[in-house]
Amino acid sequence: MLLAQGIHKVYKKGGRELRILHGIDLEIKKNETLAIVGPSGAGKSTLLHIMGGLDKPSRGRVLLDNKDLYRLSDKKRAWVRNNKIGFVFQFYHLLPEFTALENTLMPALVKGEGWRVKLGGARKKAEDLLRKFGLGERLRHRPGELSGGEQQRVAIARALINGPELLLCDEPTGNLDSGMGEEILNILFDLNRNNNMTVIIVTHDREIAKRSGRVIEMRDGMLV
């Protein structure tokens, strides 16, 4: 489903070059669960962002369904990101002024489905997702009125609203206590089992890695 080939990333800072990724090759199979583990600073987030079309590699290419992500126009890449890939981050990244329902609907809005016409369908889907995740009584709460675990469940609903096939999660439980973290993991692994979702989870928690179909370890910008 996704192929990363010869990925390098170099940042230029004040005349100096910071070499972050050193030629990574990785193939993601449809419907698999993959954990990417490794110490802080290893380059896990950088790699995840590159695989998700968020950050251009300095060298190498990323093929999603045989399309080279970084040879697409910015507009087309944004479309692919919004429709084919769902992102879940450690700190949720919800918009504080908007309700759980509105946050969930945001990617559908970006898709340009206009508030009135088609949003009816998206709205129903958002409500269904939030109910499925136990947030039926929280649709009109703002992020500040939700617990960390609830906010992360809203973020997962938002990631799913446009029906992606691939979910990229960057330390999705990193900010949660173990009980709430467990709930989030159950949701992610259920999505893989019941909805054929391909799930990639960056984590430094080896317990999470144990539940994944495959584990790869990163160190100093390389797979080891």
**Residues at the site binding ligand ADP, with contacts judged by CB under 6 A:** 11, 13, 18, 20, 38, 40-46
Query: C-beta of 79: minimal distance to ligand ADP in Å?
Result: 25
Residue number, 11 or 115, with CB nearest to ligand ADP: 11
CA distance to 51, 142, 183, per residue, from 204 (Å): 19, 30, 18
Contact 161, 125 (CB under 8 A): yes
Residue number, 9 or 125, with CB nearest to ligand ADP: 9
For residue 195, the SS3 value is helix
Contacted entry of ligand ADP, Mg ion, none for residue 78, CB cut-off 5 to 8 Å set by kind: none
- Measured on CA atoms in the order 75, 94, 171, 17, is the torsion positive or negative? positive
Contacted entry of Mg ion, ligand ADP, none for residue 11, CB cut-off 5 to 8 Å set by kind: ligand ADP
Contacted entry of ligand ADP, Mg ion, none for residue 73, CB cut-off 5 to 8 Å set by kind: none
Q: Give the DSSP H or E segment for 68.
A: strand 67-68
Query: C-beta of 131: minimal distance to Mg ion in Å?
Result: 31
Positions 20 through 59 that interact with Mg ion (CB under 5 A): 45
If we measure between CA atoms, which residue out of 194, 191, 188 comes closest to residue 203? 188
- Residue appearing with tokens 């698999």: 32
For residue 86, the SS3 value is strand
User: Which residues is 17 bridged to in the sheet?
Assistant: 12
Query: C-beta of 21: minimal distance to ligand ADP in Å?
Result: 8
Residue number, 43 or 57, with CB nearest to ligand ADP: 43
Radius of gyration (Cα) for the chain, nearest Å? 17
Query: C-beta of 124: minimal distance to ligand ADP in Å?
Result: 36
Residue number, 9 or 158, with CB nearest to ligand ADP: 9
Query: C-beta of 162: minimal distance to Mg ion in Å?
Result: 24
